[in-house]
Each structure stands twice: as C-alpha cells, then as structure tokens.
Amino acid sequence: MSSSESAENRYRNTIGSIVSWGIFRMALVIGVSLLFAEYVRWIDYSTWAIITLVMLYAAVVHPMQVQYRIYREETLAVMDGTLCSTCKYFEPTGVLCSKLDEHVSEDHIPCEGELWEPE
C-alpha cells in the first residue's frame, strides 16, 4: 500500500460525508414517516410525531454525533502540529490539500513541503 493510499483510507469520515449521509438518512426517515402517516390508520398524530422524532434522533442525529466524534479523533493529529495544518491550501473539513486535491495525514504531506504557503 502506498503512502497516498494509506492517507486516503485513514479517515472513515469527513465533514462532507457526515453531512451527506445525514441528508440521505433524513430523506429515508421522512419517507418512512410519511408512509406511516398514510397507511397506518390506527396511529394518532401525537404518536406519529413522537415516532418520527425518535427515528430522526436514532437514524440522523445520533449517527452524525458518533461520526463527528470519530472524525475529531482521527484528525486530531493532523489538525494540530503538521506542516499542512499551517498551510493556506489545507482544507480542514475534508482533511485535504486543496492545491493537490489529496488527503493529508500526520505522516503524509503530498507536496513534501515544496508548495507550503503560510495561511
């Protein structure tokens, strides 16, 4: 495995992936809750609202919190104390070098310092 591949596979989440999966899961929850409202006739409005809120927490909010915590843990080393973290091309939300469009890590600096510019 090359150092570039290891940097690509290092992070399970980025801010972009957390938000996109959150939107995807929210669309599913809304779809399921609308089907509930349409086809489950015995359910009253307050029960339906509570079920929808519980589904939103369980399928959207909680997974996003967990993914964000993992993202913070995995990126802690690169966000603090690497050459890239002080560079104007560093994109923290994607842990990415915007100049070379590559993920960076504490042991992988894609430009090897040659393109570094201060923020």
Nearest distance in Å: CB 48, ligand SF4: 49
Q: How far apart are alpha carbons 68 and 74 in whole angstroms?
A: 10
105 and 111 in contact (C-beta within 8 Å)? no
Sign of CA dihedral 57, 58, 59, 60: positive
Please say which residue, 60 or 84, places its beta carbon nearer to ligand SF4.
Answer: 84
Considering only residues 38 through 97, tell me which ones interact with ligand SF4, judged by CB under 6 A: 83-84, 87, 89-90, 97
Please say which residue, 55 or 104, places its beta carbon nearer to ligand SF4.
Answer: 104
The count of C-alpha atoms lying within 13 angstroms of the C-alpha of 114, restricted to the half-sphere facing its C-beta, is: 4
Nearest distance in Å: CB 119, ligand SF4: 10
Residue type, 55: M
Is position 116 an interface residue for ligand SF4 (rule: CB under 6 A)?
A: yes
95 and 78 in contact (C-beta within 8 Å)? yes
Please say which residue, 60 or 87, places its beta carbon nearer to ligand SF4.
Answer: 87
Residues forming the site for ligand SF4 (CB under 6 A): 83-84, 87, 89-90, 97, 99-100, 104, 109-111, 113, 115-116
